[in-house]
Amino acid sequence: MPRRLRALATSLPLILIVATILRLGFFWDYAGQNSHHALGVLPFLFEPGNIAASIVSGGGYSSPFRVPSGPTAWMAPVYPLLLAGVFRIFGAYTFNSFVAATLLNILFSVLICIPIFRIGQRVGNVGGAAGAAWLWAIFPNAILIPFECMWDASLAALLAAAILWATLELADSLRLRDWCAYGLLWGFALMTNPTLLSLLPFLLGWLVWCRRKTWRDSLKPAAIALGVMALCCVPWTIRNYFAFDTFVPLRANLGVQLWCGNSDKARDLWLGEGHPIHDSTERARYIELGEIAYEREKRSEAINYMVTHPRREVHLTWVRFKTFWSGGTPTPIADFLRSHSAWFRYVVLFNLLTAIGALGGIIVLALRCSAYVFPLAVFPLVFPWAYYLTIVEPRYRQPVDPVAMLLTAIMLSRFFPKRPVRS
């Protein structure tokens, strides 16, 4: 019987089924408690939905803020185009489109269990692999985000996990076909969430380092992968050049994000202050200047504020660090003690424990002198800096969370008997 229970507990199909049931169950409850008309409209009234609506109405890739404002490179194109496809089939701003978009997000979220499990097998053992996948299956953020916001968070998390899986597998291969596929994966990921670019030099550098004894042989496929990745971005960059008459390789919102988190208006908990999607004055300024000039103006103001207010910047960075890893609150302990909601406490506690677990997993791998400590560690140590320095929302953590679950499972595996790695 223990052997059968162990086989069930480490069954990837069972984990996928449970993850699907949990997400569909929460979605069903959420949809039943809210107006279908509201659900067909409100989740799409942000940049991805607005751009998608513009595409299907004939306005092209433009107008991210609910008013006609011309071409945009505010977001990378993959997710808005995906939503545009949903709108084309099920109608713009309809409940059917909300259901279809949510089911896609749930699919992306559930599929993340697969790369987590496979990476866990490679790094440790089947027990740790299953533990990581189970943690992701019950992770509250991964359950809620697919239907609470129509953004690329779930797809970006799937791509981040796939990139890590592919990186570890590629350490054993010099076949050009595999490296070309790796470049394609990176190109698609950057056209979905350009922030993932922060991981590229570390992961690609690790691959070259793994073959340092024959580094000349590894430089060619690495260069090919970079070339394929760059080619994936070329059509979008050309489009942006013709749209704005300037070089915009990925997206054009960094300056605004930087300014929202680093200005006189910046608060410990950012609730949309100063962002054109919420602030009519800033939206009018955006339309007046145009997207590129507006982005440059805000970037200049933000950098000037950061240079002239160093003490305030240290405080804001620390607050955003806490907000990122707590799941959305800058005062997680106080809010945990003050709240009477068991669900809220569960969310905060799960986020904090997996943040600590991620650090613990890095330490465990370092103590083992594991070859995999570096590629896993760069996710929680490098990727979040884009948000420590700008603004934080719970969905921003999603691309890191699969690796956080994996590292937490690695730490927990120290307290359980080792099982042989399953091929």
- Return the pLDDT at 7: 78
Contact between residue 145 and residue 154 where contact means Cβ atoms under 8 Å apart: yes
Write out pLDDT tens, residues 198-234.
Answer: 999 999 999 988 877 666 677 888 899 999 999 999 9
> What is the rounded distance in angstroms from the CA atom of residue 326 to the CA atom of residue 322?
6
- Return the pLDDT at 418: 56
- Return the pLDDT at 423: 37
Dihedral sign of CA atoms 188, 15, 368, 388 in order: positive
The model's pTM: 0.94
- Return the pLDDT at 219: 85
Q: What is the 3-state secondary structure (H, E, C) of 118-143?
A: HHHHHHCCHHHHHHHHHHHHHCHHHH
- Return the pLDDT at 102: 97
- Among the listed residues 362, 335, 361, the one whose alpha carbon sits nearest the alpha carbon of residue 348: 335
Contact between residue 141 and residue 394 where contact means Cβ atoms under 8 Å apart: yes
* Contacts for 129 with CB less than 8 Å, ≥ 6 apart: 10, 116, 117, 118, 119, 120, 121, 409
Residues of the chain scoring pLDDT < 50: 420-423
- Return the pLDDT at 314: 96
